[in-house]
Amino acid sequence: MSQANGWWKRWLAAVALVAAPALAWAQAADPHRWQLNMGRGVTATSQNAYEAHMVALVVCIGIGLVVFGAMAYAMFKFRKSRGAVPAQFSHNTKAEVVWTVIPVLLLIIMAWPATAKLIAMYDTRDAEMTVKVTGYQWMWKYEYLGEGVEFTSRLDRESDRIRQSGEIPDREKHPYYLLEVDNRLVLPVDTKIRFVITADDVIHSWWVPALGWKQDAIPGLINEAWTSIEQPGVYRGQCAELCGKDHAFMPIVVEAVSKEEFARWLAARKQQAGAADAPDAEDAGGADGEAPAGDGAEAPAQA
């Protein structure tokens, strides 16, 4: 009885190992611990990449089953202990044609749609807005071109305090340790957004997995990319190019909101920028002691 129980336990363990990758296929937008497969993301680009990956995975699994199945069959069927005599031949033209033509056809079938999707991935035409991203050691600067809104985005103070204090972060209290910023990049959903990406000092790389692409930020060079986020939410990424001692502390946080909410946020940011640019005389108030214009305005919503 104990042997039967042990046999079932071994089979259950094997089934669990086989099923684990399947359980990891439907993932949230952001990667997480023990994730075995890439996520679908929240853009057409990320979903195209996911679909291409899954097609390649299925093809590779099929090839592996055929190759290792044939090898296992040959090892069992023609083993020496059964008295098998190996055939003597130098080549087989038909077999060589088959195993040459089939891989070529598979590559063409896989490459044709992948190439079309790759071309579309870099087509930044007809964008509805443009965001300039500049990498610095060790922060990001975002500019909404044509809107007069710009700000820097750094590692949030609490994460910075914890990392410098040497204390062990509590995962429950700080679930986004080293992945939170002081100013999030707020973007509207269902909008084609063009990014122009560069750097001021060394090479950086702007990467948010949920968006489905990564683009290098190189001093003196402008790289382009685009996205259209389909679902509201908060999506996190990091600098993906070694850029110095604090490379690990350059998180990226994108907050996708509705178009209406984005319009309100942008208006508040413009108001804040206008107040900051006001002349010193106005900031100091009039001679009659009146409060400076804009002091009583509501602070813009924090993303």
Residue 298 lies in a domain: no
Residue 288 lies in a domain: no
The model carries a pTM of 0.75
The CA-based dihedral angle spanning residues 260, 264, 269, 274, taken in that order and rounded to the nearest 10 degrees: 130
Mean pLDDT for the stretch of residues 228-236: 96
The pLDDT of residue 86: 75
**d(Cα 30, Cα 236) in Å, to the nearest integer?**
7
The pLDDT of residue 303: 37
User: Domain range for residue 58?
Assistant: 2-83+90-121
**Do 179 and 156 fall within a single domain?**
yes
**Do 242 and 263 fall within a single domain?**
yes
**d(Cα 228, Cα 190) in Å, to the nearest integer?**
6
Q: Which residue has the higher pLDDT, 239 or 20?
A: 239
Q: Look at the chain and report how many structural domains it folds into.
A: 2
Residue 39 lies in a domain: yes
**Do 176 and 103 fall within a single domain?**
no
Q: For residue 182, what is the domain's CATH number?
A: 2.60.40.420
Q: Which residue has the higher pLDDT, 77 or 73?
A: 73
**Do 101 and 216 fall within a single domain?**
no
**How long, in residues, is the chain?**
303
Mean pLDDT for the stretch of residues 150-161: 95
**Do 249 and 155 fall within a single domain?**
yes
**Do 170 and 271 fall within a single domain?**
yes
Question: How confident is residue 235, by pLDDT bands cut at 50, 70 and 90?
Answer: very high
> For all residues of the chain together, what is the average pLDDT?
84
**Do 176 and 149 fall within a single domain?**
yes
Q: Which residue has the higher pLDDT, 41 or 89?
A: 41
Q: How far is CA 227 from CA 122, 190, 208, in A?
A: 10, 9, 11
Q: For residue 73, what is the domain's CATH number?
A: 1.10.287.90
Residue 7 lies in a domain: yes
Mean pLDDT for the stretch of residues 142-157: 96
**Do 147 and 95 fall within a single domain?**
no
**Residue in 149, 185, 188, 151 with CA at minimum distance from that of residue 267:** 149
The pLDDT of residue 278: 66
**Do 138 and 71 fall within a single domain?**
no
**Do 96 and 205 fall within a single domain?**
no
